[in-house]
Every structure is written in C-alpha cells, then in structure tokens.
Amino acid sequence: MKAMVIQHVTDLQQNSHPLHFVEIRTPTPGRGEVLIRVSACGVCHTELDEIEGRTPPAFFPMIPGHQVIGRIEDMGADVNGLAVGDRVGVAWIFSSCGECEFCKNGYENLCRQFKATGRDALGGYAEWMIAPAASVFPIPDFFTDTEAAPLLCAGAIGFRSLRLTEIENGQSLGLMGFGASAHLVIQMVRFKFPDTPVFVFARSEKERAFARELGAVWTGSINDSVPVALHAIIDSTPAWQPVVAAMKNLNPGGRLIVNAIRKENHDKNNLLSLNYPEHLWMEKEIKSVANVTRRDVADYLVLASTMKTKPETNLYSLTDANHALIEMKKGEIRGAKVLVIE
C-alpha cells in the first residue's frame, strides 16, 4: 500500500518535505481489529508537533493521521456490531488499557497507557489502516468523507473543550485562535447556546473576518482587551502569550480551557509575565484538555449531524501531504485541511 511516513524528527523551518512517500505491505487485522480502506484523512497541527519532536512518534517510521474516514474491508476474530462495508472513522484515541480507574469511569483519555492514532500506532496518511474495533465510529450519512474527517479531531476536541468550560446559555465565551477547531466550536455555541456572545482573538484580519461571518460579536488581536469580561475562554493556540492575555480578559471565577497538546518552547518566557493580582486572583481557573474520550467523539458526531455542520475544507492528494503541512505551519489558509486517498 501507499503511505506517507515520518522517518525522523526534523525542523520544518529547514525541511519542507518532512514526510516520505513509501510503498509497504498492507496490514492484516488481528483479534478485535478491523482493516479500513482509507478514503480521507484530516491534517492536524499535532502532526507538526510529531514531526518537530514536541510530541514525537513512539517509533519510526510512523504513518501520521488521526482524522480517518474509510470503509471496513476485513475484520479479525471477536469483532461485534460492525460489518464489512461499514463507513467508519478513527480519531486520536486508538486504545487505552480498559482496566484502570480512568478507563472504568469514562476518562480513558487520562489512561497512562493511552495510545494515539498516528503517533503511537500507524495512522491514516495511507491507503489502508488497522484499528481496534472499539475505537471506530459510525459516520452519519449527512457528511461526505472529506466533511467528516475534520470532525474527528478539530470537532471532537472542540466539543470536549466547550463541555469543560461549563458555560450556560447567555454567558460570554472567548476563543483564542480561530483555526480548524475554533471554527467548529463557534457553530456549536450558536446551536447549543443561542444567547451566548462569542468573542474571538485571532492573529490575522482574515481569521477575524471569518469569525465574524460565523457569528462572532467582537473580534480582535491576541493582546486586545474585550469590552466586557468573559465567563470562559478556549485557547487553541500553540503559544504561551495567549494564556496570559486570556486570563486578563476573564470574569472573576472565569475559566480558561487550554485546548493544545503543547506550547512553543521558544515562547515560554511569556508565561513568566503571568501576574497573580491581574491574571489569577478572584478564583480564576486554568484547565487543560487531554485527548478525547470515545464518548466525546460519538456525542459530537451526533450533534454535528443534528446541526448539519459543514466544516470548511481544503483538499489535497496523499502525495501533497507535505504541502498541506507547510501551509498549516504558515497559517495561510482558513478552515480544515483534508487528504483525499485515491
């Protein structure tokens, strides 16, 4: 089968072709596994983190990709509730131990043996992939393959982030950064909390204009101050500076949800400017998002179908994966990027 792989950690400032095209043997599903013919795979910022070593792959070569859509072509023993031909998706959660206190209580995202698709197990930048049957999700008929792909990460992690804010209808919400996840979060907010005003902080006027198109009542740059203090803010940026800026804009008792797998190390000095009286006093909170649970993915797919969500997508061929990643690194194109596997 054809695939794009990460062979080693590299600096994208120096290397514009970090992935290598290879042809390898098509895998065979084992017990409890399914073989999926991949039709589409979303491109995520986390792939940049893998390539540049902030969250490196568990082994090399690694096939990245954790927003996978395809059809089941074969199944191993002991697979129930699925059939050959089913259209399914695979998200960031590949597997967990199933036995620890977190797994038993629906928090498998916190399992110490959590494995991520495309980082700890081979992912979807390929014609075929293997996945545990317990970690594949039926895809609602409303979506095309390329529309469904970004829902599995950008949408699902945004859904979890919104859930963790614990906001109520009418309370104000801020979004720091306006990429693939945030543009889906604002649509959830408009549907679930119609009286909640959304304030968007974004680095470019193009992103701010996009946010206004989707219903933001106010837009500004990362360091701007909002006209009213906010009940909650979701930060989906890769930098520390927005954390400090967000805390300044929170209401007393407000909560910042950091929806990022990492923050840039070269930007860490910005965190040192966090001032207790200005930023943290008055019972403000900072809470991180760690991975997603299976429930997050399943619940979000139902919600997105009910909402008739249509993510904005930019399509690329499998062999154009490097181009898509470099464009993402530069932040040149709005919406989500999706590889079409033919």
pLDDT tens for residues 135-187? 999 999 999 999 999 999 989 999 999 999 999 999 999 999 998 889 999 99
Query: Domain of 108: which CATH number?
Result: 3.90.180.10
Using CA atoms, how far apart are residues 103 and 107, in angstroms rounded to an integer? Answer: 5
Pair (253, 312) in one structural domain:
no
Task: Find, among 65, 61, 196, the residue nearest to 124 by Cα.
Answer: 65
Phi, psi of 287 (to 5 degrees): -130, 135
| Residue written as token pair 């990362």 | 222
Using CA atoms, how far apart are residues 186 and 161, in angstroms rounded to an integer? Answer: 12
Query: Domain of 282: which CATH number?
Result: 3.40.50.720
Q: pLDDT tens digit string along 94-119?
A: 999 999 999 999 999 999 999 999 99
Which range of residues forms the domain containing residue 125?
A: 2-152+292-340
Pair (271, 203) in one structural domain:
yes
Last residue of a domain, one of 250, 268, 288: 288
**Collapsing DSSP states into helix, strand and coil, what is residue 291?**
coil
Question: What is the token pair recorded at 298?
Answer: 């399943």
Using CA atoms, how far apart are residues 130 and 149, in angstroms rounded to an integer? Answer: 17
pLDDT at 238 > cutoff 90: no
Pair (159, 146) in one structural domain:
no
Pair (119, 29) in one structural domain:
yes
Pair (160, 276) in one structural domain:
yes
pLDDT at 261 > cutoff 80: no
Strand 173-176, strand 136-138: pairing: unpaired
The pLDDT of residue 332: 67
- Of the chain, the percentage scoring pLDDT greater than 70 comes to 97
Pair (329, 229) in one structural domain:
no
Distances (CA, A) of 159 to 67, 182, 219, 295: 15, 10, 21, 11
Task: Find, among 276, 9, 322, 205, the residue nearest to 337 by Cα.
Answer: 322
Q: pLDDT tens digit string along 10-55?
A: 999 899 999 999 999 999 999 999 999 999 999 998 999 999 998 9
Last residue of a domain, one of 273, 288, 303: 288
Task: Find, among 81, 112, 79, the residue nearest to 96 by Cα.
Answer: 112
Pair (144, 171) in one structural domain:
no
Which is higher by pLDDT, 64 or 264?
64
Pair (177, 118) in one structural domain:
no
Pair (73, 182) in one structural domain:
no
Q: What is the mean pLDDT of residues 266-293?
A: 81
The pLDDT of residue 331: 77
- The domain tally of the chain equals 2
pLDDT at 267 > cutoff 80: no
The pLDDT of residue 277: 72
Pair (33, 88) in one structural domain:
yes
Pair (218, 261) in one structural domain:
yes
Pair (213, 95) in one structural domain:
no
Last residue of a domain, one of 251, 270, 288: 288
Task: Find, among 26, 37, 94, 30, the residue nearest to 71 by Cα.
Answer: 37
Using CA atoms, how far apart are residues 289 and 44, in angstroms rounded to an integer? Answer: 16
